[in-house]
Structure 1
C-alpha cells in the first residue's frame, strides 16, 4: 500500500491544486460560493506556493494545507494559522488529512511559531474531530457567524501550543 507523502508546493502544482479545490468545494467547510468558470488562479499574491504543503498518494496530488499568519501584525507573528485544508474524495480515510495537519504543525514549529490556530465551521464534525485528535482545543465560538446553504453556522476557533 502506498504511503502519503507531504512536500512543499511548487508553481507546477497550480493546476492540480486548483482542480482539487474546485472538486472538494462543499458547504460543510466553504463560506464562499461554489466556484464557477472562469476560474481564478489557485496561487495568488496573498497565498503562493511557500504557503502550501501538498499531499501525494500513489504519485497523485490528493490534498493540501495552507499555512499563514492570522494577522499582519508584528505582535502576532509568533502564531501561524491553518487557513485551508482539502483532501480529495477518493483519498479520504487514508490518513491524508491527519498527515497534512501534522505537517502543518511541524512546519509552523520549524518557522519559529509558538502557537498554531485555525477556524472551522461548527457543523463540520469530521474536521473538528480530526483537529481535536491532534491536540487542538476550542478557544472560542462566534455563534451563527456565517449563513451557509440557508442555515446559520458557528465559526469555531481552535488552537494549540507548539512549545
Structure 2
C-alpha cells in the first residue's frame, strides 16, 4: 500500500478527530488522554491545535491513517528541547513503513527548532520501542507508574534523540 506524508492543518480537523479517537479507544494504555475526554473537544479546538502545533499525517487512498505531533518546550533554559506526541498508525498502514516515515517527518521538522527530541512510550510496547530505536531514539530512563489505565499502572520509558549528533551516539561514547 502506498502512502503520503504531509503536515496537517486546521482543515484536517475532522480526519484528525477520527484517527485520534481510534488511537485512544483501541490503545488506551498508550496515551495520557482518554477517548471519553477527547470526544468532548470540538472541531474548532482540534483545528486550533493542528494550526498551533506541528502535526504530520500519513494518508493512504485519500484517508488519514497515521499521526504524529511535535511540541517545543517553552522557557528560556529549555527551548532546545522538543517533544514527540500522539504517535499512531492505523492497522491498515502498519508494516508499510508509514510509521517510520512519520517519525522522519517530525524529526526533519524538529531540526529547524530544537537540538533534542524526547518522547515517552509504555515499557510494555515493544513494537513502538523498536520503531523509536530505528528512528534514532534511545531509552534514558523509566518513569514508574506513569499512567493508571483500566485498573493497572503503566511504566513509561523516556527516550531521546540528539539532533546535533549521529543517531545512537551519546556524550558517553
Task: Output the TM-score relative to the length of structure 2.
Answer: 0.82
Mapping 1:62-141, distance limit 5 Å: 62-69=65-72, 71-109=73-111, 111-141=112-142
Taking the aligned partners of 1:68 and 1:105, their CA distance within structure 2 comes to: 11
2:23 match = 24
Q: Deviations over 1:5-60 (max 9, x none)?
A: 11111211000000111112212312333326953136265x33342111112222
Unpaired segments ≥5 residues, structure 2: 165-173
Higher helix share: 2
Q: Deviations over 1:124-157 (max 9, x none)?
A: 2211111011110011111122212211111211
Q: How many residues align?
A: 159
How large is the RMSD of aligned CA atoms in angstroms?
A: 2.0
Taking the aligned partners of 1:93 and 1:149, their CA distance within structure 2 comes to: 28
Task: Output the TM-score relative to the length of structure 1.
Answer: 0.87
1:54 match = 57
